[in-house]
Amino acid sequence: MTTAPSASPDLSAVPDAELLRLDHQVCFSLHAASRAFGGYYRRALKDLGLTYSQYLVMLVLWEQGPQSVKAIGERLHLDSGTLSPLLKRLESAGLVRRERSREDERSVVIDLTDEGAELRERALSVPRGVLAATGLSLEEVLGLQEILGRLTGALGEAVDAD
């Protein structure tokens, strides 16, 4: 798929009722797909004792090393209201450490424990299964990612420009 001349003139020609139906399908599709992914991960990650969101946080830590709550939040588009309790649970599970930064006492640096770092080895087997389970080709996955990225960006801007 090429990057289309996105301002489709068709859109304004479609009647409201039809759009309502289409809208149903689009937002529902995305909602459903996201939850289907979540459902798959719930099982795949059960052995590791991680939830889907906790897995995302661990991925960030495995890839980027120790960093502040704010940095993780920016990477995943999550705020402290979501991350604070999640990180506490990861801490109780013995996977991460939380300590106040010395340079800036406001910020808390999250670091992997040895146990958390070791978990990466076991997590390596997860994504291959997931990608296989999607039934999508590598090209489709990359295309999907591209379009979802644009979608997220555009919706984010639309909300900001409120």
Please count the CA atoms within 13 angstroms of the CA of 106 that sit on its side-chain side.
2
Q: What is the 8-class DSSP label of residue 95?
A: S
The site map against a copy of itself for 51-90 (x = CB under 8 A) is -x---x--xx-xx------------xx-------------
**Least CB distance to a copy of itself at residue 106 (A):** 26
Q: CA 124, 130, 136: angle at the middle one, nearest 5? A: 130
> Which of 14, 99, 104, 107 is close enough to bind a copy of itself by CB under 8 A?
14
> Which of 41, 83, 96, 110 is close enough to bind a copy of itself by CB under 8 A?
41
The site map against DNA for 38-57 (x = CB under 7 A) is xx--x--------xxxx---
**Least CB distance to DNA at residue 93 (A):** 9
**Least CB distance to DNA at residue 25 (A):** 16
Any bridge partners for residue 112, and if so which?
A: 96
By CB under 8 A, residue 159 contacts a copy of itself: yes
Residues in the chain: 162
**Least CB distance to DNA at residue 4 (A):** 23
CB atoms within 10 A of CB 53: 15
148 contacts: CB under 8 Å, gap ≥ 6: none
- Identify the CA nearest to 108 among candidates 86, 133, 138: 86
Q: Which does 11 bind (CB under 5 to 8 A by kind): DNA, a copy of itself, none?
A: a copy of itself
